[in-house]
Structure formats: structure tokens, C-alpha cells
Amino acid sequence: MIHKTAIIEPGAQLGRDVHVGAYAYVGPEVVLGDGCVLHHHASVEGFCTMGKNNEVFPFAMIGGKTQDLKYVGGKTGLKIGDNNVFREHTTVHCATKDGEFTVLGNNNYLLGSTHVAHDCQLGNHIIISLGAVLGGHVVIEDHAIIGGATGIHQFCHIGQYSFIGGLVKVVQDVLPYMLVDGTPAEAKSINTVGLQRAGFSEEEQSLLKKAFKLIYRSGLNRSQAMDAIRPLTDVNGRIADILLFVQDSSRGIH
């Protein structure tokens, strides 16, 4: 299912049942897994490997050269898992340093005009809404949702099951399970709706609410708040996730 106007460069590797639409482009170092779909005018280039059943919509450009001014050459790449969707005008760039990769996992949905910069590391089941942009080296954990037109500063770390509202300026790390909104971003509550949809028990949600109040509403500094929530550590590891996240944070937390 390759349209006669599509350009497939020599060296590109296409799996079974791949569809490439009119005027689409596939570069010479691209590997497309089984069942991938490139709609008309979609581009996949660079040293880019895609898994199975990914879908790239018109005018998206996946695997482009990093925009990082520190780039000095070498073979940099992009690794993408299975079942990801890249809507119209989305851009995802390769890493900056030789031998390194920007990475996206599985089942992610990137809406129109979103941008994933060099060296970002995205997990699974992430939604990035219309017009949101990620600076370089951003890490987003599983099941996070990023609201429309939000900007995330380079090197920020976004925790699992977190929710970031629209038009938000994110310049520090966002704790797992939290809802963040405003410009600059501010933690407002736990991500109640997201946690309910994900099947978190009432007990787990209650525990996370207690942790939220200790961290953000008690007047404690960061180390004091971590000491205060440590006794709440639960068998499911939700509090342990928060403690480890804070321990590893380099930019501080919102």
C-alpha cells in the first residue's frame, strides 16, 4: 500500500502491511514496523526506528535533526515503540550527541502541532494535547497528560499519572499523581479524575491526598515534608514513588 507519489529512499526498511500515503517521505535510515500508517504528506526521516502500528498524520515530521545548537555531528537517533499516534504538524526530533536517542514508548497520543525536542524520554500511555511543547531532555512517565499549549522547560521530569492543565508554564518537576495548573505551574490537588479512571482504590486516593496536604499545605520545607509522608508508605508503593521522585529531582518540584 505505497502510493505512487510517495518517496521511499533506498535503505529504508518497511514491515508488513505498512501504508504510505500520497507525497509522504521515508528516509534511508528509517525502520517502520508492521502495520504502520503514514498519511499523505507525512515525513519520517533520520536514524529512526518505529515499532508496530504507529500512525503519522499529514504534515507531521518524525525523526528530524535536533535543533540544539550544541549539535556537532555524529549519528543520533529516535526510538519509537508500538501503537503511537502523531497528529497533524507534530514534530519529534532526534537526540543531540552521537550514539544517543530520543525515546518514546508505547500507546502515546500526540495531538496536532505538538513538539518533542531532542533527547526527551517518554514512557507509555501519555497524552500530549494540541500545541504543547517539550524542551530538550524532558522525561515524562507513564499515564501523564499534558494540556493544550503548555510549555515544559528542558530537563523537567513529569511524574506518572500526573495531569498538567492547558496554557501552563512548567519550569520544575511535577510529582507523580498530582494535578498542576497555572503560569507558573502550581500543584492544586491530586489528579483525582485520572486516578479514578485508572482504577486507584479509595484508600490509595485518600493516602495521596494526605501526602499532598503534607507537601503543599502544611508549611513544611521539602525535606521536612518528605520526613512527614515517609510513615505513610503503603504496600502499593505510591508514597515510595513520590519519595524516590523527590530524591532524584534536580530542578526542584512545583
Residue 235 has pLDDT above 80, yes or no: no
Report pLDDT for 187: 97
209 and 132, same structural domain? no
Per the domain annotation, does 167 fall within a domain?
no
Q: Which is it for the CA torsion 103, 94, 55, 170, positive or negative?
A: positive
pLDDT digits (tens, 9 = 90+) for 121-173: 999 999 999 999 999 999 999 999 999 999 999 999 999 999 999 999 999 99
122 and 18, same structural domain? yes
Tell me the average pLDDT of the chain: 97
End-to-end, the C-alpha distance of the chain in Å comes to 48
CA angle 153, 219, 160 (to 5 degrees): 40
207 and 111, same structural domain? no
Strands 169-170 and 186-190 come out as unpaired
Average pLDDT over residues 56-78: 98
200 and 132, same structural domain? no
128 and 44, same structural domain? yes
Measure the CA–CA gap between 52 and 247, rounded to whole angstroms: 35
Per the domain annotation, does 129 fall within a domain?
yes
Q: Domain end: 108, 137, 166, which one?
A: 137
- Give the residue numbers annotated as catalytic, written as ranges: 118-119, 136
| Domain total in the chain | 2
Split at pLDDT 50, 70, 90, the class of 103 is very high
120 and 204, same structural domain? no
Question: What pTM, to 2 d.p., does this model score?
Answer: 0.97
pLDDT digits (tens, 9 = 90+) for 22-62: 999 999 999 999 999 999 999 999 999 999 999 999 999 99
Q: Domain end: 137, 166, 181, which one?
A: 137
Per the domain annotation, does 158 fall within a domain?
no
86 and 208, same structural domain? no
217 and 95, same structural domain? no
Which CATH number is 215's domain given? 1.20.1180
Q: Domain end: 98, 121, 137, which one?
A: 137
213 and 120, same structural domain? no
DSSP string, the chain: -B-TT-EE-TT-EE-TT-EE-TT-EE-TT-EE-TT-EE-TT-EE-SEEEE-SS-EE-TT-EEEEPP--TT---S--EEEE-SS-EE-TT-EEE--SSTT-EEEE-SS-EE-TT-EE-TT-EE-SS-EE-TT-EE-TT-EE-TT-EE-TT-EE-TT-EE-TT-EE-TT-EE-SBB-TTEEEETTTTEEEEE-HHHHHHTT--HHHHHHHHHHHHHHHTS---HHHHHHHHGGG--TT-HHHHHHHHHHH-SS-B-
Per the domain annotation, does 34 fall within a domain?
yes
Which residues, 6 or more positions from 195, have their beta carbon under 8 angstroms from its beta carbon? 161, 177, 204, 205, 208
Task: Please give the residue range of the domain that contains residue 227.
Answer: 196-248
List 93's β-bridge partners, or say none.
Answer: 64
201 and 117, same structural domain? no
Per the domain annotation, does 143 fall within a domain?
no
Per the domain annotation, does 16 fall within a domain?
yes
Per the domain annotation, does 179 fall within a domain?
no
212 and 116, same structural domain? no
101 and 15, same structural domain? yes
Measure the CA–CA gap between 70 and 28, rounded to whole angstroms: 25
Per the domain annotation, does 154 fall within a domain?
no
List 43's β-bridge partners, or say none.
Answer: 25, 61
Which CATH number is 92's domain given? 2.160.10.10
